[in-house]
Amino acid sequence: MKRTIALLALLIIPCTQAAESRPPSQIIAEAPAEHWRPADPQNTLYLDLENGRVIIELAEFMAPGHVANIKALARERFYDGLSVYRVVEGFVAQGGDMDGDKPTGKAKRTIPAEFSQENPTHRFTPLPGPDGYAPQTGFIGGFPAARDPQTDETWLVHCNGAFAMAREQDIDSGGTEFYAVIGPTQRYLDRNTTVFGRVLDGMEVLQQLQRGTEAGGILEKPENNRIVRLRVAADLPEKERKALEVLRTDSPSFEELIAARRNRPEGWFVARPGYVDVCSVGIPGRATTDHQSKP
């Protein structure tokens, strides 16, 4: 396995690391229990596709209307049997009711835009350094975000894994057609659509979907990417759930992780820009059993 040492060096703990600057892997492994929070099953979606499960955490505190409505749609079984009908390599996977004619019950077809919040309830953890798209970037409630410090306007940003709502020309026209960013960041979409969650687990399931070949990346046979079901995690029996925890983005461990990502250790790294962008920090998650099974 000699040759594999190369990039592995980025993931394991260098022996020469000084005690006061721990590498990311160690920060995450040693983060105390109170720096983690469980992903709330009431704000978690399970998107079950033919090839596996995608787990999405919903940002109720940022987009309460969208979160309440997609949960209502899930509980009406709205998405079951529909499809992820638009998949563009390096861009998005979009699903829902392509034809726009499936009836809903009490859930709505459109929800007023929730592109940003003026006074968000959660604390914003700023990221140092420049950003071309926003006055300030950082993290809020476990999501990558941006902010205007002058007005406190705060919004979630389009990193890989962002879960958002497609819309037509009218900013309030979205409500059922969700998309996930499956490629590099799509930051130019920030504040143009409502980002209301992010994929916690199962990105590889989305990546395995068939790409569309029709105009705009629509599939010729959308049924090839069939949605088996979309459920609120809390509505499934506990034994059918995967308990996940997310490192709190307002915790000292996460602050230390930001610093470690900005300042890579000398040694393997010979070029060290002293910078990390908001989409490259990575918000650690883990299955609850991962650490409970350890002594």
* Segment interacting with its own copies, rule: CB under 8 A, options 35-43, 69-77, 209-217, 223-231: 209-217
* Segment interacting with its own copies, rule: CB under 8 A, options 30-38, 73-81, 205-213, 286-294: 205-213
Site for its own copies (CB under 8 A): which residue of 269, 289, 290, 291? 269
Site for its own copies (CB under 8 A): which residue of 66, 122, 147, 191? 191
| Shortest Cβ 1–its own copies spacing (Å) | 6
Binding status of residue 68 toward its own copies by CB under 8 A: no
Distance (Å, whole) CA 59 – CA 5: 38
Q: Would you call 55 helix, strand, or coil by DSSP?
A: strand
Residues 7-36 that bind its own copies (CB under 8 A): 7-9, 11-12
Binding status of residue 216 toward its own copies by CB under 8 A: yes
Binding status of residue 242 toward its own copies by CB under 8 A: no
Residue 163's beta-bridge partner residues? Answer: 180, 197
Distance of CA 115 to the CA centre of its chain: 16
Binding status of residue 81 toward its own copies by CB under 8 A: no
Query: What is 94-154 written as a DSSP string?
Result: EEE-TTS----SSS-S-------BSS-SSPEEEE-S--SSSSEEEEETTEEEEEETTTTEE
The answer to whether residues 247 and 253 touch, using CB atoms and an 8 Å cutoff, is yes
Site for its own copies (CB under 8 A): which residue of 37, 75, 211, 286? 211
For the chain, strand residue ranges (E) read 36-38, 44-49, 52-58, 83-87, 92-96, 124-127, 136-140, 143-148, 153-156, 162-165, 178-181, 194-201, 227-232, 244-247, 285-287
Binding status of residue 231 toward its own copies by CB under 8 A: no
Binding status of residue 112 toward its own copies by CB under 8 A: no
Site for its own copies (CB under 8 A): which residue of 30, 34, 81, 90? 90
Binding status of residue 190 toward its own copies by CB under 8 A: yes
| Shortest Cβ 100–its own copies spacing (Å) | 4
Cβ proximity to its own copies: between 68 and 98 the closer is 98
Stretch 135-174: interaction string toward its own copies, x if CB under 8 A: ------------------------xxx----xxxx-x-xx
Task: List, in order, residues 6 or more apart from 231 with CB less than 8 Å away.
Answer: 45, 46, 48, 74
Judged by CB under 8 A, how many residues of this single chain contact its own copies? 73
| Shortest Cβ 234–its own copies spacing (Å) | 26
Give the CA dihedral 185, 191, 194, 200, nearest 10 degrees: 30
The answer to whether residues 219 and 253 touch, using CB atoms and an 8 Å cutoff, is no
